[in-house]
Structure 1
Amino acid sequence: MTTFADSMKKEIARVARKELRDELTDLRKTSITQRADIAALKKQVKGLQVQLGQVQRHKATAPRTADDMDTAPATVRTKGKPGRKVVFTPERLKTQRARLALTQEQMAQLLGVSSLSIWKWESGGAKPRASRVPQILARLALGRREALSLLATSEA
């Protein structure tokens, strides 16, 4: 009886191996193609990193144009002093708003944002988008009469 049971186990194992052989072959082929694809992608990423490094080095050595200086994300050049830059800070916004004698709502209308944004910027809870900073700094540099005339034209 044990001979029959052993024979039966061996035959079941043989049939199972035979059935799995085709599936394992397909899996191996898939694995080989995926590894080749991964290697190609790694080469591509390495090439792109080299190109990025070259562009960054070229940009660092290239002379800055007036357009580059005007679009600086966090600073704006002042009119009177060519080497000096103005940076956005919550304290600057607060003091400029007080100098112009504007409420947060009026300042928000002047800058084209919500009054909640002004409150968050002044409290330091948030920062304006880098693309908006030059416009904000330009508006903060206005005088009281100019700011009020801008507010009046925007309300009308």
Structure 2
Amino acid sequence: MSNFNSVLKAEIARVARKEIKNAIDPVRKANANHRREIAELKRQVLTLQKEIRSLGKASRVTTPVAADSGTTTRFGAKGLKSLRARLGLSAADFGRLVGASAQSIYNWEAGKAVPRASQQAALASVRGLGKREAAKRLDALA
């Protein structure tokens, strides 16, 4: 009798495994497909993020703008920051000198914004100034 019980138990286990396998196989295949799709989407996101970073860097480096005189002026955030430091002016004073707000100066230096063509023309006119001339112009404005 014990032999019959063990054979019956083994057969029930075998049939149960077969049924479970038939029920789980579609889920397993769907899971594998989803994982493949997720991996592909992650790769696409990474390539797009790299592309965005490279385009952002390229647009921040220099932006040529045509001035009224027909020549082009380049704008670089790093150059603006060094110009303001060379003149020894605060952002508010430098903004008054070029006709912009202090917040605009900070945004331009951080590369978060780019000045308009008219503002770039004003920045180009300030490039050749020294500390004394900049101070004289500020006094004249005040």
User: TM-score w.r.t. structure 2 length?
Assistant: 0.50
User: TM-score w.r.t. structure 1 length?
Assistant: 0.45
